[in-house]
Amino acid sequence: MFIYTVRAQSVRLLAVLGVALSLMLGIALFADAGGIEAVRRGTGDAVETVSFGRIRTDEERLSFLSSLGWQTTGTVVDEETFTLPETFDRVLLGYNEIQKDQGLDLSRYRKKKVTRYTYEITNYDGYDGKVYANLIVWRNRVIAGDISSADPMGFVRGLEKAAP
């Protein structure tokens, strides 16, 4: 026969440790949703950091695009809310590869309701047609984005502007 006694102090200690662990986990999740991730870009020794988090308003989205070097017409062309699928088809897998190249990953947001904001770009060099910037936002955080042409045979690329 095995007998083990637990004193009230031991139970209290375990409860305090459980609460502390819960708080640390909550802080870690909150910090991730706030946009700790950033993209570094630049030429030579000059490096800029662009934050993908804390983007709540239209002005903040426009400022975000401006920080990447893009000029827009200043108004949202289209806004659509949708749920990302649980399984990605071939097209979405290809789009996610573009996102991974810029340090983002849509697969973390499967089955999440997201909003896509589209802006017309006015300073895209080397292309005469209409060019759009798409920002996909979840909980005030840019989780994906691209620069694309309106032409069906056009292009889709990451958000970072190439150096002149």
Residue 63 clears pLDDT 90, i.e. is over it: yes
Q: Nearest 5 degrees, angle CA 105-CA 131-CA 146?
A: 5
Mean pLDDT calculated for residue range 95-115? 95
Between 51 and 30, the more confident residue is: 51
Question: What does the H/E/C string look like for 91-127?
Answer: HHHHHHHHHHHCCCCHHHHCCCEEEEEEEEECCCCCC
Bridge partner residues of 83 (DSSP): 113
Task: Say what the pTM is.
Answer: 0.71
pLDDT band at 54 (very low <50, low <70, confident <90, very high): confident
DSSP annotation of 72: E
Question: Which is nearest to 134 in space by CA: 121, 123, 151?
Answer: 121
